[in-house]
Amino acid sequence: MTATAELVQQIRVKSPDIGLRHDIRAVRVVWQREMIRFGRDRLRIVTALIQPVLLLFVLGTGLSTITTGSVHSLNLRTFMFPGALSMAVLFTAMFSAGSIVWDREFGFLREMLVAPVGRWSIVVGKCLGGATTASLQGVIILALAGIVGVPYSLTLFLTVFGELLLLAFTLTAFGVMTAARITQFQAFMALNQMLLMPLFFLSGALFPLGNLPGWLQVLTRVDPLTYAVDPVRRAVFAHLHASPAVLAKLNPGVTWNGWRVPTAVELLIVAAMGVVMLAVAIWEFRKAD
């Protein structure tokens, strides 16, 4: 072997393996990074609980003083409990998605994008990480069920946790989709405040969906978050000892021309929205520099 051939043999660079197995590993790594960041940021965990707690124990208690007798002895905090769960998931999921903008500003996102893995794996890992952390945040609020008159039940907890996990995935996918082209964190937060608050208030988290004016009925039915809040409320009310009159008044559900939409259809709508927004996010990241 000549000296040149020996030199070429010594400096030969081994190209990294590229394949589905490495893409799946990248998904796990991105998910694990989100979990580590969530576990270390205790201030974030505490601050994300402030709004749901205020909703339950301040707004719920305050409004109950003017609704006494109108809800047939059912505590208003009990009715608002599904809304508080959704709020905890909502803001945590969007904050997790917003970290993409931080990564872009500090240059870390560029390092991930040049890695020898499919960009779809980064997006999927980010969505799964955000969904997991947001669902865990919802579990903390779920632990307060007994305080607001909701009986502790393993079946209830498992059902609600699955629904919150689906909601968190869809919201994180929505956040990643919106963050794909935003370069400043302030712009991301302003955009999401403009979108999220109307979505939350129109979802039926704070009021029953029955007997609404026509224009408000239309807005609540086209709000995608409505189809995530209603299954949580159904699961909670299914474990309450309330009369049929109370259930009909406070838990009328989502109706289309008088037909009450089944829970399975609602969850399917939420899942379909999550998949569509995930696909758009992947497409956006494939175009990203």
Flag the least confident range among 48-57, 141-150, 266-275. Answer: 48-57
pLDDT at position 48 is 75
Of 95, 164, 105, nearest to 126 (Cα)? 95
pLDDT in tens, 125-168: 888 988 998 898 888 889 888 888 888 889 999 999 999 999 99
pLDDT in tens, 183-223: 777 788 788 778 888 888 898 888 888 888 888 989 999 98
pLDDT range class, residue 273, cuts 50, 70, 90 = very high
Report, as an integer, the average pLDDT of 102-121. 73
